[in-house]
Homo-oligomer: A and B are copies of this chain.
Amino acid sequence: MSKKLTTREENYSNWYNELVSKADLAEHSEVRGCMVIKPHGFSIWEKMQRALDDMFKETGHTNAYFPIFIPKSYFSREASHVEGFAKECAVVTHYRLKNDEENGGIVVDEDAKLEEELIVRPTSETIIWNTYKGWIQSYRDLPILINQWANVVRWEMRTRLFLRTAEFLWQEGHTAHATKGEAIAEAEQMLDVYATFAEEWMAMPVVKGIKSESERFAGALETYCIEALMQDGKALQAGTSHFLGQNFAKAFDVKFVNKEGKEELVWATSWGVSTRLMGALIMTHSDDQGLVLPPKLAPIQVVLVPIYRSEEQLNDLREKLEELMSKFKSLGIRVKLDDDDKRKPGWKFAEYEMKGVPVRIAMGPRDLEAGTVEVARRDSGEKSSVAFDDVVGHVEGLMDEIQKGLYDKALKHREENTHTADTWEEFESIINGKGGFVLAHWDGTAVTEEQIKQKTKATIRCIPLDGDTTPGNCILTGNPSARRVLFAKAY
């Protein structure tokens, strides 16, 4: 398989697809819409999971697990939720197959039809609130701060690896609170956790904001989100946190007795990020040579490649490289020595470049004599000869430098591609031209929002929590606008 990618310039979409495949991240399965997450892709996802899970636990959450199947009737209980979620989904109708006596093979056993169909969860609010009903009686039982790591299924006809797949992996937090204020504080806290994770771990700057009413989660009173800008000028929603009010408590009759002995409905939040973050990570940093990874999320941070002609040379090099390896390990740097004899150095260089290993160290017989190694940075492509004795300290510094460099570069890209538009012409020309984020005035109505979407495919990504709150006039209708909101075409 050729390791050369279509360039971003030539065809951004092909570049993405080829990179995901060639960097061993994921591939389409033969099951429509479902992906296989390959070892390298999964190892990055695991790093994300671990970091997020630690942050959830630091903020007082615990993990639990709820059934994958949800009885169909549960979805009808929360009126807006059913519209948003229960339509395109995988429906289990039978629980047995049998041998096909006539034609061979196996067929569905019609005698094993379920009384009520089960839906493979598209999200778990309904089954979780049905469970919480049994867990909550008194204010003493609150808050409940639970997260679940799970697979979910939303039937999708047009899929793209990581960005939109029928089955995907995610985490969904579901919390229950005694007061409205506590629930809102929770939803806001988790938005901050997501933003911190995106910026500090993924090196991906994000805009924190709230969704317009029509972009809200089905069943939420408020949806908070983080939005990132990809290299092609399109936005990507990277995480959402919902204040659900008492909607699910009402739907599933979940009440508690407060300190004063009075019964009240429970307040709820839910929040989630998914394997979609893998798509965001790829499209934020990668280049025409392949994946670029921030060191904090790189499964292998440093790869050591010996360059040799003879077994004897290899042995000498291996001794030095193993010495380096143990020094890196003692510093907690994830390192791999690739002395696989089945592959040539050139193949290995291309492979680790494609897979986004942040630092490559090569050592050949001449280096051995000179007491040096060649250090190559994946982000800048820069190569330098470093004295063997200095290399550990040098690389340790590079880890921070690359992490910060990637963030700064992405932030610069976002800043250069965030525009303000004051007229419809200006707005249209940016959206249809160079793209990017556009801060513009909007009259606050769903009708105008829909018209702008129809005309340009741009949507309101969010109403930023920070930023300009000067009033003005809607770019489309000229009606009064309370403040600028953030528009973009989005993934």
Contacts and interface: CB of A to CB of B under 8 A. Distances in A.
B76 A87 contact: no
A286 B36 CA distance: 40
A64 B39 contact: yes
Given A93-B91, A118-B31, A68 B151 contact: yes
Contacts of A27: 131, 134
A67 to B, nearest CB: 4
A182 to B, nearest CB: 15
Interface string A324-351: 0000000000000000001100000000
Contacts of A226: none
A146 B93 CA distance: 32
Interface in A137-181: 140, 146, 150-151, 153, 155, 167, 169
Contacts of A95: 88-91, 155
Given A30-B130, A39-B64, A82-B106, A90 B72 contact: no
A1 to B, nearest CB: 10
A71 B167 contact: no
Interface in A60-100: 62-73, 75-76, 82, 86-98
Nearest to A66: B36
Contacts of A36: 64-67, 131
Given A67-B34, A146-B39, A89 B82 contact: no
A42 B62 contact: yes
A264 interface: no
A106 B93 contact: no
A35 interface: yes
Contacts of A35: 67
B68 A39 contact: no
B68 A34 contact: yes
A347 to B, nearest CB: 10
Given A43-B62, A87-B96, A146-B39, A69 B155 contact: no
A31 B67 contact: yes
A156 to B, nearest CB: 10
A79 B67 CA distance: 31
Nearest to A148: B42
Given A30-B130, A67-B29, A151-B151, A97 B106 contact: no
A167 B67 contact: yes
A290 B29 CA distance: 46
A352 B75 CA distance: 37
Nearest to A94: B91
Contacts of A98: 87
Contacts of A167: 67-69
A87 to B, nearest CB: 6
A29 B131 contact: yes
A116 to B, nearest CB: 10
A208 B41 CA distance: 35
A117 to B, nearest CB: 6
Given A36-B64, A151-B151, A31 B69 contact: yes
A103 to B, nearest CB: 11
A38 interface: yes
A37 interface: yes
B69 A92 contact: no
A71 B106 CA distance: 11
10 contacts: A30-B130, A36-B66, A39-B63, A42-B65, A69-B90, A72-B97, A88-B96, A91-B92, A96-B155, A108-B117
Interface of A: 27, 29-31, 34-39, 41-43, 46, 62-73, 75-76, 82, 86-98, 104-106, 108, 117-120, 127, 130-131, 134, 140, 146, 150-151, 153, 155, 167, 169, 342-343
- List 5 A-B pairs, minimum CB-CB distance, nearest first: A34-B67, A37-B65, A39-B62, A91-B94, A95-B155
Given A34-B69, A42-B63, A91-B95, 12 more contacts: A29-B67, A29-B127, A31-B69, A35-B67, A36-B131, A38-B64, A39-B63, A72-B106, A88-B95, A93-B93, A97-B119, A108-B117
